[in-house]
Amino acid sequence: MTPQLAPTRTGILFVCLGNICRSPLAEGVFLGEVVRRGLGDRFVVDSCGTAAYHVGEAPDPRSCQVAAQYGLDITHQRARQLASADFARFDWIVAMDRANARAIEQARPSGARARVARFMDFVPDSTSQDVPDPYYGGPEGFERVYDLLRRGAGRLLDAVLAERAQEAG
Ligand code: 4NP
């Protein structure tokens, strides 16, 4: 019998500043989309922050609440800071805003191949280039973040799958 090789998993890392508001929600929404399409065994999905302010903490209760409202449990996640190893572990590093994207590029080890993308590039008809930081606002900001993530997740997954298909020839 020919041994079956396990398919290579594509790594997607979502990055914001604190890893307690936007990127944990992005991780939950994107993973939900991956699982909904039956692709759970083909992806590794994670999130982190460019800053270390909240390392080890669970997501902000307002993120957990909006996630729960839409059937997602993100309470097990714990904040961590972006590390050099992430540039080798992940194929795509997806920034929530432009400041995050700049910080990611500054942290990139020389020669690291990971592709850095901005999430808002996958949200149709968006007027902003940033997923707005809801940390200092009310719960409506978290609803807005969820809505943007929901609108962009499918298109981001389509883009990742298209790139994978192209690489496979
Ligand atoms: P996040 O939001 O980057 O979406 O997790 C923030 C969380 C914490 C802080 C700023 C933004 N902070 O300054 O502590």
Tell me the per-residue pLDDT of 116-159, one tens digit each, with 9 for 90 and over. Answer: 999 999 999 998 999 999 999 999 999 999 999 999 999 999 99
Closest alpha carbon to 123 in 158, 88, 89: 158
DSSP string, 13-30: EEEESSSSSHHHHHHHHH
Residue 2 to residue 161: CA distance in whole angstroms: 26
Q: Whose CA is nearest to atom 12 of ligand 1?
A: 18
Residue 114 C-alpha to ligand 1 middle, in angstroms?
Answer: 24
42 touches 7 (CB < 8 A):
yes
Is the shortest distance between the CB of 52 and ligand 1 below 6 Å? no
Strand, helix or coil for residue 166: helix
Closest CA to 64 of 78, 81, 48: 78
CB of 17 sitting under 6 A from ligand 1? yes
pLDDT in tens, 84-115: 999 999 999 999 999 999 999 999 999 998 99
Burial class (CB in 10 A: 0-12, 13-18, 19+), 58: middle
> Quick check: CB of 137 below 6 Å from ligand 1?
no
- Tell how far the Cα of 162 is from the centroid of ligand 1, in angstroms: 32
Instruction: Give, rounded to a whole angstrom, the gap between the first and last alpha carbons of the chain.
Output: 26
Rounded distance from Cα 10 to ligand 1 centre (Å): 27
Residue 47 near residue 27 (C-beta atoms within 8 A): yes
pTM, rounded to two decimals: 0.96
Percent above pLDDT 90 for the chain: 92
